[in-house]
């Protein structure tokens, strides 16, 4: 707009206020444009809220097609020896599991104390050299070997340099790919090394006496002498493995053949077993009706909530006297007044909308049309779900809990078929997905998505056009205001000239 101007010096009129009042009249079309733009923005946001609701229901409809929704299993164990969870493929019944041995981590440690008591594990080895009982040779190397589930070796070498501390070396071991945790215990004055996983992976007793953590001590005195940690010792009759643990779990399944596992977990016949102690447990498996019932109920409740919301939007009253507020109007109002006004102005954005109305009608048909997929159930009433008898509920569903639980207990597969069906013969959930996808696309063509460019949807293009129109009109208002100031300026100049001439005449007359 124009810079600040001062008028009325000659006429005595409040030129600034007069022009402001004139400009208010001139701005009225611009205010109408701004209100229209706000109304389109309200409508766009209302459509997007609808799509958000439909997308939430669509995600739940997808879950209703999955086998896991109806085949949840409940398990119980007769003792603490074994616990179990069942997958959707687990058969109902009882399973006897006898744990003969637990899987354990392999570990080895110094055979005796390694220092004289004045040792600092965080100080450089060159400073602590004299504190090791069996001495220390610097600038040598040693290696450690471990094995994976396929029996493949992993060997890593480490350098014993004087600038490293003992803890530095042990950390290098722990951070390597060996899968070994190494640390020094000051109280016991010993080094401990243990595998990070359970199980027996080295089946060859000719390799490190069968140890899971193989020490190359013959060429590296740092391990065998300084740390006093070895693969084995000779007791006079032969070499004996020093390492402890490193065993597989052993168990019997249903009193049949013995099985082993590197860990204390094992999956078999759709069951995931966890071994806790040596002993016998009988695992009982049955359908988890509670979880399946909750899933179906949650889906039905969500559907009821959405159709109530959408039916409300279709019937919401439109208050045409409450047009969207302009920025100037908001400046003159309190916050609570703005909130109450906008509540009215936003009402009825989607009243009677054909896309939403059509989607609701099709969704009702999706629920009620029989499903022919070869299952025991062909319609909702077969599993205890029916339409509310209250016409004011406008198609809401009601669940008879006992009937639904019975169907889920006796034939969960047929309940799933009712909702899922197939590509050729879609079930209820597939139908709903197709209907909602169609509705969402139609709404997006009108209102887009939050990430859409304005040019890509109808309301966005309309808002963009109004913005351009408002910009042009604001330029026009600037020109009009400048014209008013020029006109009033000319008037002021004329009045000032007239006053000067009048004063001159009066002066000469009286003289």
For 106-148, the pLDDT digits (tens) are 999 999 999 998 899 999 999 999 999 999 989 889 999 999 9
Instruction: Identify which of 251, 280, 269, 270 has the alpha carbon closest to the alpha carbon of residue 103.
Output: 251
Retrieve residue 144's tokens.
């450690």
Q: How confident is residue 388, by pLDDT bands cut at 50, 70 and 90? A: confident
Backbone φ, ψ for residue 129 (5° rounding): -55, -40
For 262, residues 6+ apart whose C-beta sits below 8 A from its C-beta are 103, 149, 197, 198, 199, 200, 201, 248, 249
Return the sign of the alpha-carbon dihedral for residues 349, 350, 351, 353.
positive
For 242, residues 6+ apart whose C-beta sits below 8 A from its C-beta are 108, 111, 211, 229, 230, 231, 232, 233
Whether 490 shows a pLDDT value over 80: the answer reads: no
Summarised one tens digit per residue, pLDDT across range 42-78 is 899 999 999 999 999 999 999 999 888 888 788 899 9
Least confident of 9-18, 291-300, 353-362, 416-425: 9-18
- The residues pairing with 182 across neighbouring beta strands, listed in sequence order, are 193
Residue whose token pair is 């569903």 = 397
Instruction: Identify which of 411, 431, 412, 434 has the alpha carbon closest to the alpha carbon of residue 421.
Output: 431
Instruction: Identify which of 261, 260, 306, 252 has the alpha carbon closest to the alpha carbon of residue 280.
Output: 252
The helix (run of H) or strand (run of E) holding residue 82 is strand 82-86
Domains and CATH numbers, the chain: 46-68+291-451 (no CATH), 73-102+248-287 (no CATH), 105-241 (2.60.40)
The larger pLDDT score, comparing residue 489 to residue 471, is at: 471
Average pLDDT of the residues in 480-497: 78
Whether 347 shows a pLDDT value over 50: the answer reads: yes
DSSP letter (8 states) at residue 286: E
**Helices and strands: H and E segment counts in the chain:** 13, 18
Q: How confident is residue 2, by pLDDT bands cut at 50, 70 and 90? A: very low
Tell me how crowded residue 375 is: count the other CB atoms within 10 A of its CB: 19
- The residues pairing with 265 across neighbouring beta strands, listed in sequence order, are 274
Least confident of 201-210, 399-408, 501-510: 501-510
């Amino acid at each position: 707009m124009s810079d600040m101007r001062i008028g009325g010096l000659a006429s005595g009129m409040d030129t600034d206020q007069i022009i402001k009042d004139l400009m208010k009249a001139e701005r009225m079309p611009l205010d109408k444009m701004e209100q229209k733009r706000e109304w389109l923005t309200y409508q766009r946001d209302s459509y997007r809220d609808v799509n958000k609701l439909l997308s939430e229901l669509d995600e739940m409809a997808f879950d209703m097609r999955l086998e896991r929704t109806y085949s949840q299993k409940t398990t119980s164990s007769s003792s603490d020896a074994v616990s179990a969870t069942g997958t959707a493929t687990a058969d109902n019944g009882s399973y006897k599991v006898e744990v003969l041995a637990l899987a354990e981590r392999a570990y080895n440690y110094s055979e005796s104390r390694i220092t004289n008591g004045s040792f600092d594990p965080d100080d450089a080895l060159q400073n602590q050299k004299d504190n090791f009982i069996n001495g220390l040779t610097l600038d040598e190397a040693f290696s450690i070997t471990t094995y994976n589930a396929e029996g493949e070796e992993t060997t890593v070498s480490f350098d014993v340099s004087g600038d490293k501390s003992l803890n530095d070396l042990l950390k290098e071991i722990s951070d390597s790919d060996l899968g070994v945790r190494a640390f020094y215990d000051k109280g016991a004055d010993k080094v401990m090394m243990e595998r990070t996983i359970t199980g027996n992976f080295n089946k060859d007793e000719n390799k490190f006496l069968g140890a899971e953590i193989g020490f190359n001590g013959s060429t590296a005195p740092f391990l065998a002498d300084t740390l006093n940690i070895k693969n084995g010792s000779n007791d006079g009759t032969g070499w004996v493995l020093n390492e402890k643990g490193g065993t597989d779990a052993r168990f019997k399944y249903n009193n049949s053949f013995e099985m082993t596992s590197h860990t204390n977990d094992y999956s078999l016949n759709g069951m995931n077993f966890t071994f806790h102690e040596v002993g016998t447990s009988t695992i009982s498996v049955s359908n988890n009706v509670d979880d399946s019932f909750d899933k179906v109920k949650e889906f039905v409740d969500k559907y009821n909530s959405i159709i109530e919301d959408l039916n409300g939007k279709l019937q919401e009253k439109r208050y045409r006297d409450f047009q969207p507020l302009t920025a100037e109007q908001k400046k003159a109002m309190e916050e609570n007044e703005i909130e109450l006004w906008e509540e009215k102005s936003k009402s009825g954005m989607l009243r009677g909308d054909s896309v939403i109305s059509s989607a609701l009608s099709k969704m009702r048909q999706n629920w009620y049309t029989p499903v022919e997929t070869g299952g025991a159930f062909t319609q909702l009433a077969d599993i205890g779900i029916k339409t509310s008898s209250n016409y004011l509920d406008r198609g809401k569903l009601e669940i008879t809990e006992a009937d639904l639980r019975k169907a889920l207990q006796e034939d969960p597969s047929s309940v799933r078929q009712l909702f899922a069906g197939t590509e050729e013969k879609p079930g209820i959930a597939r139908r709903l997905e197709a209907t909602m996808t169609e509705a969402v696309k139609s709404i997006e063509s009108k209102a887009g998505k939050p990430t859409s460019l304005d040019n890509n949807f109808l309301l966005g293009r309309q808002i963009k056009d109004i913005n351009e129109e408002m910009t042009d009109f604001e330029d026009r208002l600037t020109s009009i205001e400048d014209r008013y100031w020029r006109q009033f300026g000319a008037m002021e100049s004329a009045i000032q000239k007239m006053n000067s001439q009048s004063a001159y005449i009066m002066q000469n007359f009286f003289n």
